[in-house]
Structure 1
Amino acid sequence: MDESLVLKKCGYILGSTLGDGSYGKVKSAYSESQNANVAVKIINRKKAAADFLEKFLPRELEIQASLSHSNIVKIFKIFETSNGKVFIIMELGVQGDLLEFVKSRGALPEDFSKKLFRQLSMAIKFLHDQDIVHRDLKCENLLLDKDFNLKVSDFGFTRRITYDDTGKMELSKTFCGSAAYAAPEVLQGIPYNSKMYDVWSMGVILFVMMCGSMPYDDSNIKRMLRIQKEHRVDFPRSKQIPGECKDMIYKTLHPDVKKRLDICAILEHHWLGKTGEVSSRHHNGPATSKPASSSKDKKNVEGKVETDITTDPGKEDHAGPSSPRTEVACVT
């Protein structure tokens, strides 16, 4: 059955394409029952690799459908057709993703960056408290709703942490995600602590929000890795970054995992923990939009050619909230 007919049968009117992934695509749709627009991720099992079908897709469906947090995209319904197409109905990130937002606005005001980073931190703490890791945090996977609140999306590389008989965390050996956001231990192919991988990616995201550029040039991975291992973080001279914020970024981008902040330390950091820093005007987005003052800085974001570390199991792009109760059904 045609995708539009399948969705119409379930009460959704198919709209435009929002993004394409390796094994599927994301489209907008109108939900007649909700009287609102939603995002629909469509995955074709017949085109997907065996590894994706056996490992990544089951994890994504099981984990994301179980999540309920204000800063994680909501899943409204999951159903599958007899010809192998999986439909995931999600909240729509109406303001687009964070990368596009920074590309159009440049570096974000400190108050607004702090608001978004706190929301990201709360979402990741929610996951880490349940021993769930994302492993593909990047600006493209952070969506903004109509009120410019952050929503974490795309759980294609997510997994649950496991422990051995002694209670020690078992390290991840799947080297996934995007090189520009990957921790040095991941780039080196060393078994890694997935929670600390998420933290490194968060540091890159905060740098992008505050500077309007990437902290490292991933066009030369070997050189980038050398700089990371030297613990060098070069802030653009054209940007006035508060010392406390620099300290947060510097400590989340520490090459030594034992010295890197964990998610609890991030939330307790003095830059994020200061009260009264988010003024009311920023609840509906930043009042000002300052473009990157350096063309070089802006190019680092706009001209970035993303390098995936492993095969990408489909993207959510502008998908966007997870309800406490997700419907799972099959359409034949």
Structure 2
Amino acid sequence: MWQFTETLGEGAYGEVVLAKNINTNEFAAVKVIDINRLKGNDVVIRKEIDLHKLFRHENIIRFYGYKQQYSNYYLFLEYAAGGELFDKIEPDVGMPEYLAQHYFKQVVAGMAYLHSLGVAHRDLKPENLLVANNNILKICDFGLATLFRSQTTKEERKLTTYCGTAPYSSPEVWAKTPYRGEPVDVWSCGIILTAMLTGELPWDQPSYQNPEYKRWLDRDYYHNPWKKIDNMILNLLRRILIHDPAQRARVIDIQSHKWMSKVYSQDGTESDHQLLKRMAVKYEEPCWSLTQPNQSTTSTVISSTSMDDPMVNCISQPIKLDDLILITEPRSLAEMGDQDPSEHLVHRMTRVVLAISFDETIYLLNRLFVHTGYTPKRTAGNQITVFTQDKRHTELIFKVNVFKIPDAKIMADFRLSKGDGIEFKRKFVEIRERLVQLATAWSNGGGGSACFNHSDTSSTLTNGNNSVNQLQEAMDT
């Protein structure tokens, strides 16, 4: 029996929730898709299921099975507790080069596997790349994936659905011309690598009208983000981010590039490359085969998934999908007896631990969002949904869940709902600094002060008896 707990992420047609098996204490990520949001057309969902059930690769999130109940589809997926890759990217900084190489190799390996099956992902970006506890990267979210090559005839077709995320999309997709499946994924990998190394995206869109993209085409590498990147990696990016898809690097070209085999070391100690390799947990193949006997890969893709197909539990043995009992009324992990619910959540960097009360945290957050120019809305007892825009003036929505953790502390967990992950992370860093200042001043008592506005004005915060009323009076003066 599976009990829904915390929401892990959201999408256009549903959400991903953490589910706990109350009999075995195992966890799974369940993608809940509302058919009503698709106007009753479940062809897209069936296509995602039929494709995802094929994949058996270390760098692809595992698909365990699905169940249809009322107006929802429930897709049971591997739970990657390491969180999304974008959360490991520091805005305007990125991540260490050796770590970017470690993750990039895995993105390319997963992409190569998909292409070997004739499948294009078409929405590769850090938000769709998960990290497991053993530091293994997993490609997820195949809602926009499609077949571009037949496994039987090897015939390739041009694609004409123009989809994806603008900063990661290729020029041919942006220009709405028929395109090949492989080059668009390769292009997205180049943008991902740039983001990992620099903490920023190179352009809003790859069009001649975009000045940043025009500078790239003119080989002007003396501006950000390119001036942050080592020449060897820049050489690789110049082969990936080629406007003409026919000239763009192939997977084999990327994997054979000299940077991909570079070994990083620190002062003669064990190299970071070797350390990461030693940390990795050996991947175990799932207990089912890629195709059924006397059944081709192509026929598997276009067939319907039977409700009697076995589903592999997160950790233990296969079970029948008909045995799945879903308790969709969400309960928190704390309500289910977990002493520290935070230890089971995705390991995100977008969290703040505070030494003030629950009510004070909710109030501080609301006031902080209003003063920053955001629009907060209390969407649950412990949740605030925040609406704003990023620097591209596109919609950015995130949620803050507040809950108690051991040692009488409060955790504010920030989660992206819609928009660019790096922009969300950038805003989180600004909010975190102000929130910590305010909470520290309040908990210390006796005349603490903190800058509350992002303008030149500031509010003095004093702590009398730690009551929310006094807190409100201090902030409203």
Which deviations, in whole Å up to 9, do the C-alpha atoms of 1:9-48 show, x marking residues without a partner? Answer: xx21211112222211111111346643221111111221
Amino acid at match of 1:53: D
- Distance in 1 between the 2:220 and 2:31 partners? 37
Correspondence for 1:15: 5
- Distance in 2 between the 1:180 and 1:196 partners? 15
Correspondence for 1:114: 101
Name the SS for the 1:66 alignment partner.
coil
User: Which has the higher mean CA deviation after the structures are superposed, 237-246 or 70-79?
Assistant: 237-246
Correspondence for 1:299: none
Matched, 1:178 2:165: yes
Which deviations, in whole Å up to 9, do the C-alpha atoms of 1:254-288 show, x marking residues without a partner? Answer: 00112110112111111113457753444669xxx
Higher relative contact order (CA 8 A, sep 6+): 1
> CA offset at residue 192 of structure 1?
0.5
Amino acid at match of 2:36: K
Correspondence for 2:244: 256
Correspondence for 1:48: 38
> CA offset at residue 198 of structure 1?
0.2
Correspondence for 1:87: 74
- Distance in 2 between the 1:231 and 1:88 partners? 45
Q: 1:78 aligns with which of 60, 63, 66?
A: 66
Which deviations, in whole Å up to 9, do the C-alpha atoms of 1:296-323 show, x marking residues without a partner? Answer: xxxxxx856668xxxxxx99xxxxxxxx
User: Which residues of 2 match residues 156-195 of structure 1 at below 5 A?
Assistant: 156-162=143-149, 169-195=156-182
The 1:200–1:13 alpha-carbon spacing in structure 2 relative to 1, beyond 3 Å, is same
User: Which residues of 2 match residues 128-277 of structure 1 at below 5 A?
Assistant: 128-162=115-149, 169-218=156-205, 222-223=209-210, 227=214, 230=217, 232=219, 234=221, 236=224, 240-274=228-262
> CA offset at residue 225 of structure 1?
8.5
**Conserved? CA contact 1:60–1:156, under 8 Å:** yes
The 1:230–1:59 alpha-carbon spacing in structure 2 relative to 1, beyond 3 Å, is same
Residue ranges of structure 2 left out of the alignment (5+ in a row): 265-270, 281-348, 350-389, 396-416, 419-477
Residue ranges of structure 1 left out of the alignment (5+ in a row): 1-10, 290-301, 308-313, 316-332
> CA offset at residue 149 of structure 1?
1.7
The 1:141–1:94 alpha-carbon spacing in structure 2 relative to 1, beyond 3 Å, is same
Amino acid at match of 1:12: W
TM-score by length of 2: 0.53
Which deviations, in whole Å up to 9, do the C-alpha atoms of 1:114-142 show, x marking residues without a partner? Answer: 11010111101111111111000011101
Equivalent pairs, count: 283
- Distance in 2 between the 1:304 and 1:144 partners? 28
Matched, 1:99 2:86: yes
- Distance in 1 between the 2:91 and 2:108 partners? 24
The 1:189–1:18 alpha-carbon spacing in structure 2 relative to 1, beyond 3 Å, is same
> CA offset at residue 154 of structure 1?
0.5
> CA offset at residue 77 of structure 1?
2.2
Name the SS for the 1:28 alignment partner.
strand
- Distance in 1 between the 2:120 and 2:206 partners? 27
> CA offset at residue 167 of structure 1?
6.3
The 1:241–1:190 alpha-carbon spacing in structure 2 relative to 1, beyond 3 Å, is same
Correspondence for 2:48: 60
> CA offset at residue 202 of structure 1?
0.2
The 1:304–1:41 alpha-carbon spacing in structure 2 relative to 1, beyond 3 Å, is farther
**Conserved? CA contact 2:171–2:207, under 8 Å:** no
Name the SS for the 2:89 alignment partner.
helix
Which structure has the larger Rg over C-alpha atoms? 2
The 1:144–1:167 alpha-carbon spacing in structure 2 relative to 1, beyond 3 Å, is closer
Name the SS for the 2:42 alignment partner.
helix
**Percent identical residues:** 26
**Conserved? CA contact 2:61–2:139, under 8 Å:** yes
> CA offset at residue 103 of structure 1?
3.6
Name the SS for the 1:258 alignment partner.
coil
- Distance in 2 between the 1:27 and 1:96 partners? 13
User: Which has the higher mean CA deviation after the structures are superposed, 35-44 or 97-106?
Assistant: 97-106
The 1:142–1:254 alpha-carbon spacing in structure 2 relative to 1, beyond 3 Å, is same
Correspondence for 2:273: 279
Q: CA RMSD in A?
A: 3.4
Name the SS for the 2:95 alignment partner.
coil
- Distance in 2 between the 1:68 and 1:23 partners? 25
Matched, 1:30 2:17: no
Name the SS for the 2:127 alignment partner.
helix
Amino acid at match of 2:260: L
